Amino acid sequence: MKKTVLFIAFILCAISLQAQVKEYTITSSIKGIEGEEYDLTIWDGANNGRWAKGKVSNGQIYYRDTTSVPLMIRIFLKNKGLYKSVGRGSIPVKSQGIWLVVMPGEKVQLKGHLSDFAEVYPQGGKENKVLSELTKAYHPLLNKAVNIELHLALNEGKVTAAEEAKLRQGQENLNSAAQKVMDTFLEKYASSIAGLYYIEDMLLRENISVEFAEKLLPSVTAKYRNTSFYKKVANRVEGNKYTVGKTIFTISSNNTYDGKAFTADSWKGKFYLIDFWGSWCGPCMADVPDLKKLRDAYPDKLQVLGIASDKDTPWRKAVVEHDLNWTQILNGAGEQDFVSRLNVAGFPTKILVDPNGEIVYRSTGGGETSFQKMAEIIENWKK
């Protein structure tokens, strides 16, 4: 009898797992949508996000896709009034986008209006109720703060020093108020998809400390601890300890350029430099000549490991075009997410590991100086 019950439970579990991939839909009731399409950025918590396009149908958003996991989505409309344009560019701000959470099988409707920012909020499910509580308070403050930046940019040379100082103080007050709204939200809703997404986002922007994030994690319930959003935050908090003087964990991966299994254990007794880069990162590519010079100066002492935060096709293209002829790994998810496991918050980031497995140098940002410092460390290293 027990075997029968266990077998039935197993079958039900298998059916449940197979049914996890479900269609979701996004519709809208928004006046004045311009253009024939819109852009989406879709995060599943495991990766940096993927981009998609949707077609405007009868003047409204209608988008559908499938997912087996919770998603955080940002939609950019083509309305010119939403963009803080200066010259040929624009000042980016979260309030110009429409933000929503999608769960498998969910139907989300977007309601609101468009002013000089997207006063549009999602309806459908508990997660969107939580998110809307944040964006209704947070986005107006961000919009007012960026409007001051826009005003100063458009009137460069026309604003007196006293006027600018007053405006900057007002901007600082708005940004402080916005951060207070965010901090309060995170303390209240760490157990939510939006909460976990913004914890990592604020960590990357250095708007909250790792210590603050670490205090929030115990309040996250088991339901959310199984999500990639939680795992990424937990990885970053854990990764914060890998500073100079600490022993690094063994980096192993099958997600290499040549498809061969790699482990840093094979480099025991040598220095190795971890170069976090991406094909999209100008300073990363500008560092390549100096990186090659350093590698070639110590052929018997130094190995190089490239870890790319990128998409597969541009990653492979960049490896060939720039002759990145050292071990290359494409960053992955979970245990293979070395970007979050080592709390990398900017690109390029370089971590130099000594023959004993200890981190002896770490820097973010490109430039010749970092290579000079690493050369000095290698030259002067003693067992």
pLDDT, tens digit, 9 for 90 and up, residues 53-69: 999 999 999 999 999 99
Q: Is residue 218 part of a domain?
A: no
Asked which of 70-74, 113-117, 316-320, 363-367 is least confident by mean pLDDT, the reply is 363-367
What's the distance, CA 255 to chain centroid? 20
Q: Which of 146, 164, 189 is the last residue of a domain?
A: 189
Q: What pLDDT, on a 0 to 100 scale, did the predictor assign at position 203? A: 95
Residue 17 has pLDDT above 60, yes or no: no
Instruction: Please check whether residues 165 and 267 belong to one and the same domain.
Output: no
Band (pLDDT 50/70/90 cuts) for residue 323 is very high
Nearest by Cα to 275 from 205, 325, 328, 226: 328
Domain count, the chain: 2
- Express the helix, strand and coil content of the chain in percent, nearest 5 each: 45, 25, 30
User: 269-321: per-residue pLDDT in tens?
Assistant: 999 999 999 999 999 999 999 999 999 999 999 999 999 999 999 999 999 99
Write out 122-144 in H/E/C secondary structure: EECCHHHHHHHHHHHHHHHHHHH
Is residue 94 in some structural domain?
Answer: yes
Alpha carbon distances (Å) from 295 to 329, 331, 378: 18, 22, 11
HSE at residue 138, side-chain half, CA atoms within 13 A, is 23
Domain presence at residue 45? yes
Which DSSP category does 251 fall into? P
- Whether residue 114 sits in one domain with residue 27: yes
Report how far apart the first and last C-alpha atoms of the chain are (Å, whole number): 64
pLDDT at position 9, please? Answer: 47
Any domain includes 112: yes
Amino acid at 34: E
Confidence of residue 100 (pLDDT cuts 50, 70, 90): very high
pLDDT at 13 over 70: no
Among residues 255, 254, 275, 250, which one has the least CA distance to residue 265? Answer: 250
Is residue 13 situated within a structural domain?
no
Mean pLDDT, residues 210-235 taken together:
96
Q: What is the mean pLDDT of the chain?
A: 93
**Residue 244 φ/ψ, nearest 5 degrees:** -60, 130
Residue with tokens 């266990």: 6
Q: Which residue has the tokens 């100082």?
A: 165
For residue 204, tell me if it sits in a domain.
Answer: no
Q: Which domain holds residue 50?
A: 21-189
Tell me which residue has tokens 């819109």.
38
Q: How confident is the model at residue 4 (pLDDT cuts 50, 70, 90)?
A: very low
pLDDT at residue 109 tops 90:
yes
Count CB-CB contacts under 10 A for residue 152. 17
Do 68 and 177 lie in one domain? The reply is yes
DSSP 110: E
- pLDDT cut 90: percent of the chain above it: 91
> Looking at the domain assignment, is residue 237 inside a domain?
no
User: Does residue 363 sit in helix, strand or coil?
Assistant: strand
Residue pair 203/305 in contact (Cβ under 8 Å)? The answer is no
The answer, yes or no, to whether residue 15 has pLDDT greater than 70, is no
Q: Are residues 50 and 132 in the same domain?
A: yes
CA-CA-CA-CA torsion for 165, 167, 168, 172, nearest 10 degrees?
A: 140
